[in-house]
Amino acid sequence: MPQIKDNLETRLLLLRRRLEEKQAAIGIVRVSRGRVRLETDGSLGLDAARE
């Protein structure tokens, strides 16, 4: 399980950096160990994916 966790943390870190570089209106903030928060500059709408 630790290998999977490390991979997820690495992917989230890379995504956070890319979002910062693009100055996106959405960002990932590390809150504490093992916890992250999604922040936006405006309202956010979610649509369900269809199979």
Helix, strand or coil, per DSSP, at residue 6: helix
Inside any domain, residue 27: yes
Give me the number of domains the chain comprises.
1
Q: Which residue has the tokens 């093992």?
A: 34
The residue range of the domain holding 18 is 2-40
pLDDT tens for the 51 residues of the chain, in order: 456 667 888 899 999 999 999 999 999 999 998 899 999 998 988 899 887
Inside any domain, residue 6: yes
Rounded CA separation 6/9 (Å): 5
Tell me how crowded residue 33 is: count the other CB atoms within 10 A of its CB: 5
Residues 6+ apart with CB under 8 A from 27: 16, 19, 20, 38, 39, 40
